[in-house]
Homo-oligomer: A and B are copies of this chain.
């Protein structure tokens, strides 16, 4: 942490800073420039210290110089985290495809979709049983009934399942059925939920909040990691911007940024990232070209009859076509499809 003094600050004010640092067991290292003095704080700092120092007389600004996240950083763990789910590994050389309906609507819908996406080469089945919905008057999911349908689809197809948990109380229940638990964008800063999934012995996929910075996202991952669960996947699903043509703005740069600053695997969700089915394929290909470890795609037997997010769901045919393209783009950047199913 660096304390930048005001141009007109004096020795008395500098002494006050040094005294305050000493009270905290910290040292201050002075650097006197032409215009102003800067004090480097030496010792173990913490976020609130910034506010405290910034309020002292003569201080212009306090600048943190260490990243506030630790366990999720490359500095803490230089090698990639690779997560094993059944036969699949996520975060290594393989490219993983998660596919399925936005919401579990019926056994028939899920089974039909599961068989189709598996045949097309997908690895993990997605489907929501508990659905966060902007409006209380919208469909909120089938609950445990939905989880049972997913489990049945796993039994029949052998595909691991990923599904969302939206409240701490349901973590145990969802963990009983799911192979990967998803924490949704709206819950990225539901810290009690993060604590709870941090205690589970299953991988957690943490979606980026729609207005979360990359740093805040990693701090939320830190909640899970610091509870002892080291199997965390990150998922970029678009951020909120002024552009209204798309539902969100897919932050494609976040993929290589995460790869640089963190060892955690990064998945892309072009369905929520764009909100329009005809943008899903180009943005999925882009994500893989940018280095994503996997993509998550919404697929529905009949999108124009979907109870949720039909506009961003692919038909079976469109998903099949996307899988063929994904194999090619993955190969062009030196990756192979997981399981070698289609690569």
Contact = CB atoms under 8 A, between A and B. Distances in A.
A1 to B, nearest CB: 9
Interface in A299-336: 303-311, 325, 328-329, 331-333
B166 A192 contact: yes
Contacts of A187: 190
A256 interface: yes
A279 B306 contact: no
A287 B283 CA distance: 9
A56 B132 contact: no
A255 interface: yes
Nearest to A186: B189
Interface in A48-101: 48, 50-56, 60-61, 63, 65-66, 68-69, 75
Interface stretch (A108-116, A118-126, A133-141, A156-164): A133-141
A48 B138 contact: yes
Nearest to A257: B245
Contacts of A38: 2, 40, 65
Contacts of A50: 311
A211 interface: yes
A50 B308 CA distance: 10
B257 A249 contact: no
Nearest to A55: B304
A27 B161 CA distance: 40
Interface of A: 2, 4, 7, 20, 29, 31-36, 38, 40-44, 46-48, 50-56, 60-61, 63, 65-66, 68-69, 75, 132-140, 166-169, 186-187, 189-194, 210-211, 213-216, 219, 222-223, 226, 239-246, 249-257, 260, 273-274, 277-279, 282-283, 285-291, 303-311, 325, 328-329, 331-333
Given A48-B310, A51-B311, A285-B290, 16 more contacts: A29-B32, A31-B42, A32-B42, A34-B42, A47-B138, A48-B139, A51-B306, A63-B65, A137-B222, A213-B244, A214-B245, A243-B254, A244-B244, A246-B253, A256-B283, A289-B329
